[in-house]
């Protein structure tokens, strides 16, 4: 279905309200808006990670597969956001989130985990722009999940969409590690007691 956007601003939100899909109005401070807004923030970080990987020096086959995966994730996150942004009384049918996307993430993680070395400590973000940005995706994804869980206490949410967001944060953790390995970059690790040794 084609979408045509002819105007960005509408002035209708100047009073602190916004319209959900279907037309119902809510305050911009509403937990539902916070939920789909955080999904949008996550999607933006995924786009940044995707761009860095496009410009980076990863092995070509791995790079192509990862770029395709991140493209799928950006589209799936838009679907999650659309579900969250659809009002309960909307006449537009909500298409349930496809659980096969969850299975795809799990299969990718299982494949990568076979090649990743065991961790001697907790991982800290960094070592390369790609690694750091993927870890940013991970923590924003966790925040999105917390907000959706809080929203679920007030209303029905798509359980597969919630499960997808949960699995996605794990995916970013594994992929950040895999990217570091493929780039030959040392991962930053937490050094237990380092802060107390400085005193």
Q: What is the pLDDT of residues 152-177, one digit of tens each?
A: 999 999 999 999 999 999 999 999 99
Q: Which two tokens stand for residue 19?
A: 């319209």
Q: What is the pLDDT of residue 112?
A: 96
Q: What is the pLDDT of residue 17?
A: 73
Per-residue confidence band for 60, with pLDDT thresholds at 50, 70 and 90: very high
Calculate the average pLDDT of the chain. 88
The 10s digit of each residue's pLDDT in 135-157 is 999 999 999 999 999 999 999 99
| Rounded CA separation 193/82 (Å) | 45
| Rounded CA separation 157/99 (Å) | 14
Q: What is the pLDDT of residue 25?
A: 76
pLDDT at 23 over 60: yes
Beta bridge partners of 19: 25
Task: Output the CA torsion sign for 168, 76, 65, 58.
Answer: negative
| Rounded CA separation 177/166 (Å) | 18
Domain boundaries, the chain: 25-85+113-189
Per-residue confidence band for 24, with pLDDT thresholds at 50, 70 and 90: confident
**C-beta separation of 98 from 160 below 8 A:** yes
Q: What is the pLDDT of residue 64?
A: 97
Least confident residue range of 50-59, 99-108, 187-196: 187-196
- pLDDT, average across residues 117-126: 92
Terminal CA-to-CA distance of the chain, rounded, Å?
62
**C-beta separation of 151 from 157 below 8 A:** yes
| Rounded CA separation 94/158 (Å) | 10
| Rounded CA separation 82/75 (Å) | 11
The 10s digit of each residue's pLDDT in 73-119 is 999 999 999 999 887 666 565 678 999 999 999 999 999 999 999 98
Q: Which two tokens stand for residue 139?
A: 């923590």
Packed helices 60-84 and 100-113: angle between N→C axes, nearest 10 degrees: 150
H or E element that contains 104: helix 100-113
Q: Which residues contact 151 (CB under 8 A, 6 or more apart)?
A: 31, 32, 35, 84, 157
Q: What is the pLDDT of residue 16?
A: 79
Look at the chain and count its residues. 199
pLDDT at 18 over 70: no
Q: Could you say which of 3.40.50.970, 3.40.50.300, 1.20.1200.10, 2.40.160.20 is the CATH number of the domain covering 25-85+113-189?
A: 1.20.1200.10
């Amino acid at each position: 279905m084609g979408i045509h956007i002819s105007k960005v601003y509408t002035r209708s939100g100047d009073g602190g309200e916004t319209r959900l899909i279907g037309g119902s109005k809510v305050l911009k401070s509403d937990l539902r808006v916070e939920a789909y807004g955080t999904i949008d923030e996550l999607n933006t970080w995924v786009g940044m990670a995707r761009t860095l990987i496009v410009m980076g020096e990863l092995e070509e086959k791995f790079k192509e597969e990862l770029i395709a995966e991140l493209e799928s994730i950006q589209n799936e996150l838009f679907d999650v956001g659309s579900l969250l942004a659809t009002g309960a009384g909307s006449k537009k049918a909500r298409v349930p989130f496809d659980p096969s996307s969850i299975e795809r993430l799990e299969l990718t993680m299982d494949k990568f985990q076979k090649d990743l070395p065991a961790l001697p400590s907790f991982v800290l973000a960094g070592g390369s722009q790609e690694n750091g940005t993927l870890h940013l995706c991970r923590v924003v994804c966790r925040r999105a999940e917390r907000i959706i869980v809080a929203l679920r206490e007030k209303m029905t949410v798509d359980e597969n969409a919630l499960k997808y967001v949960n699995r996605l944060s794990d995916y970013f953790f594994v992929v950040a590690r895999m990217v570091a390995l493929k780039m030959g970059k040392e991962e930053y690790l937490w050094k237990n007691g380092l802060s107390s040794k400085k005193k």
